[in-house]
Amino acid sequence: MSTPRFAAVGIVVADMSRSLAFYRALGLDIPAEADNAPHAEANLPGGVRLLFDTEETVRSFDPDWKRPDGAQMGLAFECDGPAEVDKAYADMVDAGYEGHMAPWDAFWGQRYATVHDPDGNGVDFFAPLPVTSAGS
């Protein structure tokens, strides 16, 4: 018997075209015709897929489904460096998306920032901070 393999992350969206526009702004390749579909997918590096389903689609097979309160999940996008974290955050906020935590230097050694997607999910940007030597 084989072991199940992790293959996808699913997001339930209130407005498909609005959510897909957010993820396209982050560089995901999602066909334009998906904006009006009940289900859409984006292939991610490493063979994992990001799946999008409308609330109506989920209710079609789970009639009692209700959107959970609070954060549903979080996604993280790795940037090439600290300046790219700042740029990614600024680009998304300038595009009208909700900034949650402006870029900052995290105690664990990364430049970090968080925006919210249209459904309130946290989307983080991160990059390692330059290593400094003690006493320099």
Q: How confident is the model at residue 134 (pLDDT cuts 50, 70, 90)?
A: low
CB 50 within 8 A of CB 26: no
What residue segments make up the domains of the chain, in order of their start?
Answer: 7-63, 73-135
| CATH class label, 7-63 | alpha beta
Enclosing H/E stretch for 114:
strand 110-116
Query: What CA–CA distance (Å, rounded) separates 111 from 88?
Result: 12
Q: 59-104: per-residue pLDDT in tens?
A: 998 899 888 876 678 889 999 999 999 999 999 999 999 999 999 9
d(CA 83, CA 89): 10
- Decide if 24 contacts 123 (C-beta within 8 A): no
pLDDT attached to residue 129? 95
Is residue 119 within 8 A of residue 11, CB to CB? The reply is: yes
DSSP state of 14: S
Dist CA 61 CA 24 (whole Å): 28
pTM (predicted TM-score): 0.83
pLDDT in the model for residue 5: 80
Tell the CATH superfamily of the 73-135 domain: 2,3-Dihydroxybiphenyl 1,2-Dioxygenase, domain 1 (3.10.180.10)
Mean pLDDT of 13-31: 95
Mean pLDDT for the chain overall = 90
Same fold, 7-63 and 73-135: yes
For the ranges 1-15, 23-37, 45-59, 117-131, the lowest mean pLDDT is seen at: 1-15
